[in-house]
Chain A
Amino acid sequence: MSSERLPIKFRTENLDFYYGPTRALKNVTIDCYDKKVTAIIGPSGCGKSTFIRTLNRMNDVIAGTRVEGRILLDGQDIYAPDVDVVELRRRVGMVFQKPNPFPKSIYDNIAYGLRINGMRDRKAIEATVEKSLRGAALWEEVKDRLDENAFALSGGQQQRLCIARALAVEPEVILFDEPCSAIDPIATAKVEDLIEHLKTSYTVVIVTHNMQQAARVSDYTAFMMLGELIEFDRTGKVFTAPANKLTEDYITGRFG
């Protein structure tokens, strides 16, 4: 935990997470600052994907899961009984590890989020689609083939399409769950540039197994192991002068 004076967008307090009887997250307390990029790193199985999926309650779709502790978005507990999960997920968007465009056209992929949230005016939809594609640095590449099926795009382009799709509903937070592990290095570089740019308008939380990526892209880094938070601090400090020996061992490659 850092003692910054910056506004906090997401805070988890003593978060425990259970898959049935198995405790996957142990007492995790993290602050994600507004309009900053927070990276979660750690070896396989450390709970980072589980963690990020608690932030938009995607774990709710898995049967038998349980959450203890609090997760606060702008100070409000997102697991409170009167919370509208559907609205939460619009405010907190997610880009998944494997690009998952819908089997629809490029245009319809982006328009989908707008339509389900009630937008009807065709001109408004068109304008927002263009804005989102520009925001994902994809517009120039697809502007002449918006009617083509999304699967005609390359892996990297599909992932940027998914980012554009997430941007279209105007979230406040964007969660990236290992967004580059299924795409090639050049596309990865493009996505990383995009993330750098996104933080001017959105709070970003990114899970990655690629330490160099975390170091390049994020402002704050959290290191997790076996479901626990080992260290959390400014990225610069974590990577040059980690406080915990486990962190140091992981970063220098002694394990993981």
Chain B
Amino acid sequence: MKTSTRKGIAQAVGFLALRAAMGLVLAVLLLFLYDIGKKGGGAISWEFLTEAPRRGMTEGGIFPAIVGTFLVTLITAVLAVPLGMSAAIYLHEYAKQSRLTRLIRLSIRNLSGVPSIVYGLFGVILFVNAMRFGTSILSAGLTLGLMTLPWTVTASEEALKTIPNSYREGAMALGATKWQTIRTNVLPYAIPGMLTGTVLGLARAAGETAPILFTGAAFYLPFLPRSLGDQFMALPYHLYIMATQHHAIQQVRPLAYGTALVLIGLVLGLNMTAVVLRYRLRRKHR
């Protein structure tokens, strides 16, 4: 029984190709992160993070964009998180197998595939015009909220699925009503998982540009937004304009890199928080 048979060679070559594919993907990722890290790192400074832009964005910082992103993500969360969790509770705890339930699930899956610019279009009609919120943090946040909704529903449902049925049955066998069961014996254990999943969705929302392009984002505002009805600056939009439409593109390139680094840092930071949370939760619930 010799080792280097034809099968062995074929396998060695095949597995090598698979390894190469993995290596390629890793290399691209590392290249991206390295480029942004290196060139963006040079632009990061305390001033960059805490000051407003000056001289048509060729100097100064991106503080208003950070604030704007934070505010709009907050609105997104206010819409998407409770609504998503509630929808998930309906689907997992109340809904029976029926055509309507299948329709709801189908809608959720399809909503997650709708292009972000289409959400932007919808936001313009519904929030900016029909509800007369105008181009504002509110309009943009709600638009992003709708876009994030499928994500929060799915993540919340996954969290509910991990709660063993014995918890529910035990409570009901003692005479608890459905809502009591959910409130006391399911939600307390599921909420941490639900929040972890929604944080990932919010991280995605913070990085989105298309939905806020026409619902409230602005490139340069002299003041920080004073209310939810104001326009706002946002990190992704800021990066987009600096990279494509600024009048001195080459000059501001380092600032663009810096913005990209801050944005990635924010998004990946949120992602990692969620992953760490999920890991800790899994260990607790063994």
A contacts B directly (C-beta below 8 A)? yes
Q: Which residues of A contact B (CB under 8 A)?
A: 76, 82-84, 86-88, 91, 116, 118
Cβ of B8 and Cβ of A84 under 8 Å apart?
Answer: yes
- B244 contacts the other chain (CB 8 A): no
Task: Please name the residue on chain A nearest to B4 by beta carbon.
Answer: A84
**A108 CB to nearest B CB, Å:** 19
Determine the distance from Cα of A73 to Cα of B160 in the docked complex, in whole angstroms.
Answer: 53
Task: Please name the residue on chain B nearest to A76 by beta carbon.
Answer: B1
Cβ of B6 and Cβ of A83 under 8 Å apart?
Answer: no
**B11 CB to nearest A CB, Å:** 8
Determine the distance from Cα of A118 to Cα of B2 in the docked complex, in whole angstroms.
Answer: 16
How many cross-chain pairs have Cβ atoms below 8 Å apart between A and B? 20
- 15 CB contacts below 8 A, A to B, read A82-B2, A83-B1, A83-B3, A84-B1, A84-B2, A84-B3, A84-B5, A84-B8, A86-B5, A86-B7, A87-B1, A87-B2, A87-B5, A116-B7, A118-B6
Q: Which residues of chain B from 1 to 19 have a CB within 8 Å of any chain A CB?
A: 1-3, 5-8
Cβ of A82 and Cβ of B6 under 8 Å apart?
Answer: no
Q: Which residues of B contact A (CB under 8 A)?
A: 1-3, 5-8
- Chain B residue contacts of A116, Cβ below 8 A: 7
- Chain A residue contacts of B6, Cβ below 8 A: 118
Determine the distance from Cα of A116 to Cα of B2 in the docked complex, in whole angstroms.
Answer: 17
**B4 CB to nearest A CB, Å:** 8
Determine the distance from Cα of A88 to Cα of B8 in the docked complex, in whole angstroms.
Answer: 13
| Top 4 A-B pairs, shortest CB-CB distance | A84-B1, A87-B1, A84-B3, A83-B1
Determine the distance from Cα of A84 to Cα of B7 in the docked complex, in whole angstroms.
Answer: 10
- Chain A residue contacts of B2, Cβ below 8 A: 82, 84, 87
Task: Please name the residue on chain A nearest to B6 by beta carbon.
Answer: A118
Task: Please name the residue on chain A nearest to B3 by beta carbon.
Answer: A84
Task: Please name the residue on chain A nearest to B2 by beta carbon.
Answer: A84
Task: Please name the residue on chain B nearest to A83 by beta carbon.
Answer: B1
Determine the distance from Cα of A116 to Cα of B1 in the docked complex, in whole angstroms.
Answer: 17
**A200 CB to nearest B CB, Å:** 25
Determine the distance from Cα of A27 to Cα of B1 in the docked complex, in whole angstroms.
Answer: 26
**B7 CB to nearest A CB, Å:** 6
- Chain A residue contacts of B8, Cβ below 8 A: 84, 86
**A116 CB to nearest B CB, Å:** 8
- Chain B residue contacts of A82, Cβ below 8 A: 2-3
Give 17 new A-B contacts, CB below 8 A, not counting A82-B2, A84-B1, A84-B5.
A76-B1, A82-B3, A83-B1, A83-B3, A84-B2, A84-B3, A84-B8, A86-B5, A86-B7, A86-B8, A87-B1, A87-B2, A87-B5, A88-B1, A91-B1, A116-B7, A118-B6
- Chain A residue contacts of B5, Cβ below 8 A: 84, 86-87
Determine the distance from Cα of A87 to Cα of B5 in the docked complex, in whole angstroms.
Answer: 9
- Chain B residue contacts of A87, Cβ below 8 A: 1-2, 5
Determine the distance from Cα of A86 to Cα of B3 in the docked complex, in whole angstroms.
Answer: 9
Determine the distance from Cα of A83 to Cα of B1 in the docked complex, in whole angstroms.
Answer: 6
- Chain B residue contacts of A84, Cβ below 8 A: 1-3, 5, 8
**B100 CB to nearest A CB, Å:** 34
Determine the distance from Cα of A122 to Cα of B175 in the docked complex, in whole angstroms.
Answer: 69
Determine the distance from Cα of A87 to Cα of B3 in the docked complex, in whole angstroms.
Answer: 8
**A86 CB to nearest B CB, Å:** 6
- Chain B residue contacts of A88, Cβ below 8 A: 1
Task: Please name the residue on chain B nearest to A73 by beta carbon.
Answer: B1
